[in-house]
Amino acid sequence: MTAETVRRTARPAPPKLYRAGQLTQLDKLPPPERAITLIVDGEELATVACSPHRVLALALGFLRVEDIIRTAEDVELMEVCDDETVVKVRLAATARRVPHDRRRIITSGCGRGVTFSLDVVPVEGGMTVRPERLMEWMEALLEGAEGYKEHGGTHTAGLFGEDGLEILVEDIGRHNTIDRIAGEAILRDLATAGKAILTSGRISSEMLVKCSRLGVGIAASRTSPTELAVSLAQEAGIAVCGYVRRDQMRVFHEAGRILT
């Protein structure tokens, strides 16, 4: 048995709680994690550390935010292989060229995210919201985080339109949640342009870039955006809000989308 096999199959024992000088056995396991390798047209494109569920949606979303595909019609075949650790994709003629020869950027996302460019796409139009609505949406997002309630240690993100929550996803990697939203939107034939993405995790540069490629006009976090993410938001015309709580939040870039 190889070390890689051990990493894939070994299950840890539940942790113990230390409190007031006593150790107590708990029954809650840590969140599951797998390394999923994405092979496109016979060549390895990326390996993503992620939560091992709906990996096809994750792979679709990764290809979408990297601007390799736009719709489901750009994919001829997808299959999950090797105990759900490999996703193989065959692209249709309508898809864009896969950037196998381009420099990969190892991002600051959990699990060492990968992207091929930090160029934003300008976002025009889309909805405007009042701060109170973003606060309500953040409460709804956190309330729906079933994986976090079960395991802890996972991030949650949601796509919100005029009528509220449209897609909710969870993953151990906060950058993966944006890919998952993109993939689920393709599978459900939902538009992302002009809408808002709310996340429980920090908004870093690659997450802001992913939002811009989806045409998202508002990005909001339970925590903070990075300095580079705010700079990219200014360039793309995306409103960025952080530390969204029940009764307050910080507006880092308004972009004409936050009504006060």
- Give the separation between CA 86 and CA 245, rounded to whole angstroms: 38
Q: What b/e string do you get for 214-230 counting C-beta neighbours within 10 Å, with b at 16 or more?
A: bbbbbbbbbebbbeebb
Greatest CA separation for the chain: 64
- Give the separation between CA 204 and CA 175, rounded to whole angstroms: 8
- Give the separation between CA 151 and CA 211, rounded to whole angstroms: 27
CB 175 within 8 A of CB 204: yes
CB 137 within 8 A of CB 150: no
Give me the catalytic one of 50, 110, 211, 241: 110
- Give the separation between CA 9 and CA 14, rounded to whole angstroms: 16
Question: Is 110 part of the annotated catalytic residue set?
Answer: yes
- Give the separation between CA 98 and CA 78, rounded to whole angstroms: 16
Helices (H) and strands (E) in the chain, counts: 7, 14
- Give the separation between CA 101 and CA 86, rounded to whole angstroms: 21
The set of catalytic residues is 110
